[in-house]
Structure 1
Amino acid sequence: MTNVHENITEILLLIFLIITFLQSGFDKVADWKGNLSWLTGHFSETPLKNVVPLLLGIILVIEVLAGALCGVGVIQFILDGESTMAIYGTILSCITLLFLLFGQRVAKDYEGAKTIVIYFMPAVFLLYILASN
């Protein structure tokens, strides 16, 4: 229980990322056609219009991987206070959010881009905490 108390901030932020990315990945799998349809329209006037299915698949894979690594990071923190997997999961989370931000900016969805920044801030903060230890 000492590891939980000593790393509670990191654990809570990792859980935030787990919820964010695993739920998003689950949504993409559960409603692939709906997501693909919406995104095809969203990017119809951009240079990305012909690669939306590929990009959606890539985002799905890295979201699930980021969430899973963060999950392993929580377990690692609890069991032995180590942060290796948490760092990998957080870095991949930040990269994923940057990809999403790029997509929103390309689509000129500036409100959507602002939303991504809200998720990016705690992810970068977590990375800062993890890198400082």
Structure 2
Amino acid sequence: MEHVLNHSAELLILLFLIITFLMSFIDKVTDWKGNISFLKSHFSETFVVPLLPITLVLIVILEALTTLFCSLGIFEILAEKNTNYAQVGSIISCVILLLFLLGQRITKDFDGARNITIYFIVSVFAVFLFQN
């Protein structure tokens, strides 16, 4: 129990990232057409519309990897007192959020970009916590 308490910040951040990216992954997989439709509308006045399907596939893969590595990170912290998986999951989450930020900036959705920044701060903090 003491080990869990000593690593409570790390474990809570990993749970936050798992919930965030697992729910996003599930939404994209279960409502693929709805997501494509929304994105086509959101990016309608930009050059990225033809790239949306491949970009969404990339995002789904990265979200799955983030969820996997953060989940393995929890077990690794609890069992082996190591943070390698957690660090990889945190870094991938930062990459995803940077892609989201880029998309919001391309569409000039500055409120959306500001909202992504909140998630990015948590992810960067996780990367900082898991540095060896």
Q: CA deviation at 1:68?
A: 1.1
Cα-to-partner distance string for 1:58-104 (whole Å, 9 max, x where unaligned): 11110111111001001111112110000000000111100110011
CA contact 1:22–1:68 (8 Å) conserved in 2:
no
Structure 2 unmatched runs, 5+: none
Residue type at the aligned position of 2:6: E
The residue that corresponds to 1:43 in the other structure is: 43
The residue that corresponds to 1:120 in the other structure is: 120
The residue that corresponds to 2:73 in the other structure is: 73
Which SS does the other structure have where 1:108 is aligned?
coil
The residue that corresponds to 1:88 in the other structure is: 88
CA contact 1:72–1:85 (8 Å) conserved in 2:
yes
- Kindly tell me the number of residue pairs found equivalent between the two proteins: 132
In the superposition, the TM-score normalised over structure 1's length comes to 0.95
Provide the C-alpha distance between the structure 2 equivalents of 1:3 and 1:78, rounded to a whole number of angstroms. 7
CA contact 1:25–1:63 (8 Å) conserved in 2:
yes
Q: CA deviation at 1:3?
A: 2.5
What fraction of aligned residue pairs are identical, expressed as a percent?
43
In the superposition, the TM-score normalised over structure 2's length comes to 0.96
* Greater RCO structure (CA 8 Å; 6+ sep): 1
Moved beyond 3 Å, runs of 4+: none
Cα-to-partner distance string for 1:15-61 (whole Å, 9 max, x where unaligned): 00000001100000111111110001111111111111111111111
Structure 1 unmatched runs, 5+: none
Provide the C-alpha distance between the structure 2 equivalents of 1:107 and 1:58, rounded to a whole number of angstroms. 19
Provide the C-alpha distance between the structure 2 equivalents of 1:50 and 1:129, rounded to a whole number of angstroms. 38
Which SS does the other structure have where 2:69 is aligned?
helix
Q: CA deviation at 1:2?
A: 3.1
RMSD over aligned CA atoms reads 0.9
Residue type at the aligned position of 2:82: E
The residue that corresponds to 1:22 in the other structure is: 22
CA contact 1:3–1:79 (8 Å) conserved in 2:
no
CA contact 1:21–1:66 (8 Å) conserved in 2:
yes
The residue that corresponds to 1:5 in the other structure is: 5
